[in-house]
Amino acid sequence: MRVEAACATGSAAIFSAYTAVSSGYVDLALAIGVEKMREVDTSTAIELMGRAGSYLWEFENFGLTFPGYYALYATAYMNRYGATEEDLALVAVKNHRYGAMNPLAQFQKEITVEDVLSSHVIAWPLKLYDCSPITDGSAAVVLASEDKVKELKIDTPVWIGGIASSSGTGTLSYRNDFIGLDAAVKASRIAYKMAGVEVKDVDVAEVHDCFTIAELLAYEDLGFCSRGEGYKMVREGQTEIGGEKPVNIDGGLKAKGHPIGATGVSMIVELTKQLREEVKPRSRQAPMKNYVGLAHNIGGTGHYAFITILKR
């Protein structure tokens, strides 16, 4: 079965596998995410991804691609809350630092705030180092029923406690504001309720940082902080290991890479390793208190949102 949800395709595959198992239709399912993006030139890749937005109106008439879409959110956010380009850069610096520890990351080199600020502008205020790369990659997750887990004698199972999806308008001009993604807010609240957990219970999170502003919006959409407080979390180091809510400590889309169809699955792979405390090197292991992880995977600019909560 092939599924499609733009950048959230991997999570859509997991959602499909989950519903097949939980309904009793199958007792074992394999969710695979894969993308080869580097076989075409950059312009072609950007155009093809841009078709996931409002193709006939915003893409054809105004030339909007996803850096432009997220630049609209970045400028609105900065104007309302006082965040700066340096705050966006701190997200990139954090994620590259963890990417440098991850042998599977596309970028394994640390960067500085000055590196980000001096990189060339893609769609102001987003610069090259504010943007996730074009990536080849794949990931796979096996989902099984409780009976199958017992039969296979899996000694460290990680369970899907909650999984939810929502969607937003295909045309951004229909949206009320540009300071958050309503689809992510709605999906997260459904997933929290389904899993029987609260925000404070989440030990580690993977969020969809396709652009640095997207990570800041995710903090707020998920309820990690109040609206307009996301940039303060990254300033204070609260989303690093040792902080209140470690986020994207595998490098995120920004440094690990963003192979469109594989990203959502790779988030679940990373969280499974975190909850099993199997991450190598150990310097990338988040401390576990409740053994709860959250994956936030966005398609387009909130056109789709999938939230998955894992428990061990």
Residue 86: predicted pLDDT: 98
Quote the pLDDT of residue 87: 98
pTM of the model: 0.96
The catalytic residue positions are 7, 258
Q: How confident is the model at residue 61 (pLDDT cuts 50, 70, 90)?
A: low
Task: Please state which of the four CATH numbers 3.40.47.10, 3.40.50.720, 3.40.50.2300, 1.10.3720.10 is assigned to the domain occupying 9-311.
Answer: 3.40.47.10
| Confidence band, pLDDT 50/70/90 cuts, at residue 85 | very high
Number of separate helices (H) and strands (E) present in the chain? 12, 8
Q: Which of 291, 290, 203 is nearest to 243 (CA)?
A: 203
- pLDDT tens digits, 292-311: 999 999 999 999 999 999 99
Q: What is the pLDDT of residue 161?
A: 98
pLDDT value, residue 45: 85
Residue type at 251 in one-letter notation: G
Comparing CA positions, the residue from 218, 220, 191 lying closest to residue 292 is 191
